[in-house]
Structure 1
């Protein structure tokens, strides 16, 4: 993992083993800005949505956020009025201890659906979090939000506005229930740049489209997913707007942070042994390219072939054919990294297929499909599908 800048001016972090999880692991975190931060968010498209999303949507809608309370172990989803009251009470307790308005507190949860949060425990532990806040505490938060993740996920970038430097720092969790239009993942990005209120949602939506919405592990979309972007202006930069060169740089850096996190999530897919970059070029248009990339990346037969390190291009070309995109079979070409296994719709022979099988033994590789029809292109990141995935999810609640 590359070096990560873990200090963002004006932000501090804390985490505790609050007892929400029986394992004794860190399971409750707090992100705090010394001053209200401008906020933007993207949320799951699942029509069943957890209670924390209702509270956090209100916070984002108002445009300002100063604190985020997040727990793992219990999703607080499908918990009725009691769950909603627990989410609101969590925000109120944090606000009271921090001395800020309740409307400035976002809440987030991840874990098992259908269980109630232990509210007395939260009322006890959330104030203690405020006492533990540290500027260098992001590592603890990264651990506290993990569920089936095998490692914490952090990424950062630095940018400049008129010679004044700012930092973007992102933290995320996710390993299973990962699919476009959000997934079982949480991500929080903090920046000390001053970013225009109107630019925040635009930049975040574009960055999510090019990162979290082009990954898949298992085709499931969760009830709790959210990505929050908080900008507190503590670096005292000039205000970044969409029409500035600095705005274009900020949008690019934000996408890079989110794409780093997204790729970590796929690499950490439950039981995964491969990170596969699916690249589609030569489609009639970009939407057709997306259809083909999605079809390949989500095919269980393709994903099990990746696990078996089998260069079974027949499964890939079949996924192309049923994708719904415009296809002329005699124009299709397929490569594993730089090894061509299909040319003009026909296999290139056992020698090259054997070389392609060697490519599949790598932990990361690219599958490129050229439809030969136009300029449309798209990409996805996917993982293989393994025995371990079934074992992890069969025993998730136990």
Structure 2
């Protein structure tokens, strides 16, 4: 047990099964690795009416991935009369990839407006120097040149994901852009193929859509994201001038660029910035949000008119903005959780909830400390209710000058909804181990695919949730036994 554990090891020895070591006796046959569960049920299908109005998409193979026909290049463009509002939350990694830099500059020159985006997978175009920037600009400018004329300075945003330190096959990419723009459409199949064009080590395409009322408008959102490894995002709004998290949310609501950026900041902090697979922040993390104002006005008998929607602002339309902001947060949360569920080699989806904290920031820091703990994540894979590892991670969270009081902390396992008994299993109460813990029930809770750990700091009324997954044998195989280049070029999606 790590020396920073804030409770005596004797307390753990009182419940030997729950605090058992991760070693086996000499001669004991180790348990065979569990295969990751099937993720097929996370692939959803939608009718064409589910997708936001005024967008067209297309995807193709451009020889970035080695397998013939594997989708690795895609575009989304707004077909509305005016450029759409655009907002972005981008990686805070010092080694920002070329497309991150180009997207930042495009948002500034376009004053928060854009035509759409182009995305490639298989090559991150990160740490690629001057040539990388030239290639990212070429992707943007070439795509914009294929679209109907638009306002000066308003261009096509760029995203890339894949292997770091390698140059794009830019000639092949540029040669495929005219075909992409000629084959744009708004079919369900094309939206799903665009989601496939985002994939690297992902095992399934991540596409979601939803509809909600906003004043007298019927508003639609569609979201795509990707990510399975190198996931511990810390993203913020654009600042003045390997695997990755990428995502886009397109909506037909009309939202002013400043309001859209404000809503996206709020949503990302409570969704994508609250997930972790392995604690590694990527060079390419990007979440885009586009709003083109094409939503129809709902009239009698559910019909929608083509009357233009006025742009929402944060101060001018506070109630509509509040509704939109919360819908965006909820939608982003759903998309972010898909990334965790598809974590490399993951067999468990784990929610770490910290409540009764002095502030949201403290609750979030404690939850991330636990969620990023390798000891905790391997215990979840082994279905080992070793709550000492949880407390250890709580105890080393850097919170000065507001340290945690060990005698106020309580820890529980929250059963999954699939179990008949929903009563929380208390492990620790106000710093004291619970006597006579039901080990059989603990094992049943940890055997489920979805797990929740609740940590009560007993020192306030704020709370935060962070979503993570376990560390399995397969995670080590993916990231240690095979080269990254082989994974991106020859893996399941290739």
The two structures have a TM-score, normalised by structure 2, of 0.78
Aligned partners of 1:312, 1:339: CA distance in 2, in Å?
13
In structure 1, what is the equivalent of residue 114 of structure 2?
65
Corresponding residue number in structure 1 for 2:12 = none
Secondary structure of 1:324's partner?
coil
Residue 26 (structure 1) aligns with? 71
Q: Deviations over 1:95-143 (max 9, x none)?
A: 2222345741111110001111112101211111011111122111100
* Alignment partner, residue 389 of structure 1: 475
Match of 2:35 in 1: none
* Paired position in structure 2 for 1:210: 270
Question: Is 1:348–2:434 an aligned residue pair?
Answer: yes
**Equivalent pair of 2:256/2:312 in contact (CA under 8 Å):** yes
2:21 is matched with none
Q: Does 1:278 align with 2:352?
A: yes
Q: 1:158 aligns with which of 194, 197, 211?
A: 211
Q: What CA deviation, in whole Å up to 9, does each residue of 1:20-58 have, x standing for no partner?
A: 110231000010111311111110000001111121112
Within 5 Å, give how 1:361-380 maps onto structure 2: 361-380=447-466
Whole-Å Cα distance in 2 between the matches of residues 95 and 288 of structure 1?
44
**Equivalent position of 1:227 in the other structure:** 287
CA distance in 2, matches of 1:27, 1:3: 21
d(CA) in 2 for partners of 1:237 and 1:158? 16
Deviations for 1:248-302, whole angstroms, at most 9, x for unmatched residues? 1100111111101110000110001111111111223332222211111110000
Q: For the residues of structure 2 that align with 1:96 and 1:330, how far apart are their CA atoms?
A: 64
- Choose 5-14 or 28-37, whichever is displaced more: 5-14
Query: Counterpart of 1:14?
Result: 58
Quick one: distance in 1 between partners of 2:413 and 2:272? 23
- From the CA coordinates, give the structure whose radius of gyration is larger: 2
By how many angstroms is 1:198 displaced?
Answer: 2.0
Question: Unpaired segments of 5 or more residues in structure 2?
Answer: 1-41, 236-242, 296-307, 415-423, 487-494
What residue in structure 2 maps to residue 252 of structure 1?
Answer: 326
The count of corresponding residues between Structure 1 and Structure 2 is 398
Residue in 2 that maps onto 1:41: 88
Tell me which residue corresponds to 1:192: 252
Equivalent position SS for 1:194: coil
Deviations 1:212-260 (A, max 9, x none): 0111110101111111111111123332222421111100111111101
Deviates more, 1:237-246 or 1:363-372: 237-246
Check the 8 A contact 1:65/1:104 in 2, yes or no: yes
Q: Once structures 1 and 2 are overlaid, which stretch shifts more, 102-111 or 259-268?
A: 102-111
Deviates more, 1:273-282 or 1:241-250: 241-250
1:359 and 2:445 equivalent?
Answer: yes
Paired with 2:113 and 2:459, the residues of 1 have a C-alpha distance of 47
State the shift of 1:185 in Å.
Answer: 0.7
Counterparts of 2:385 and 2:355 in 1: how far apart (Å)? 20
Conserved 8 A contact 2:214-2:324: no
Structure with the bigger percentage of strand: 1
Q: Which residue in 2 is equivalent to 1:109?
A: 160
- On the 8 A contact 1:159/1:250 being kept in 2, the answer is no
Give the whole-Å Cα distance in 1 for the aligned partners of 2:353 and 2:155: 41
The answer to whether the 8 Å contact 1:341/1:356 transfers is no
TM-score, normalised via structure 1 length: 0.96
Q: Is the CA contact 2:214–2:323 (under 8 Å) kept in the aligned structure 1?
A: no
Describe the SS at the equivalent of 2:161.
strand
Separation in 1 of the partners of 2:149 and 2:169? 24
Answer yes or no: is the 8 Å Cα contact 1:157–1:253 preserved in 2.
no
Shift of 1:200: 0.9
Number of the residue aligned with 1:332 = 409
Residue 242 of structure 1 corresponds to: 314
Measured in 2, the distance between the counterparts of 1:282 and 1:3 equals: 39
Contact 1:341 1:353 in 2 (8 A): no
Q: CA RMSD in A?
A: 1.6
2:102 to 37, 43, 55: 55
1:15 offset after TM fit, Å?
0.4
| 1:18/1:6 CA distance change after superposition, 3 Å | farther
Preserved CA contact (<8 Å) 2:224 2:335? yes
Task: Determine the C-alpha separation between the residues in 2 that align with 1:239 and 1:349.
Answer: 59
1:3 Cα deviation after fit: 6.2
The 2-side partners of 1:6 and 1:388 are apart by 36
Instruction: Give SS of 1:142's match.
Output: helix
- Asked if the contact 1:146–1:173 (Cα under 8 Å) also holds between the matched residues in 2, the reply is yes
Higher RCO by CA contacts (8 Å cutoff, separation 6 or greater): 2
Aligned-partner SS, 1:89: helix
SS of the counterpart of 1:46?
coil
Following the alignment from structure 2 to structure 1, what is the Cα–Cα distance between the partners of residues 56 and 389? 49
What residue in structure 2 maps to residue 323 of structure 1?
Answer: 397
What is the aligned counterpart of 2:173 among 105, 122, 147? 122
Gaps (5+ residues) in structure 1? none
Summarize deviations over 1:335-387 as a string: whole Å, max 9, x none.
11011111222222454243122111111121001111222322111110111
Alignment partner of 1:131 is 2:217: no
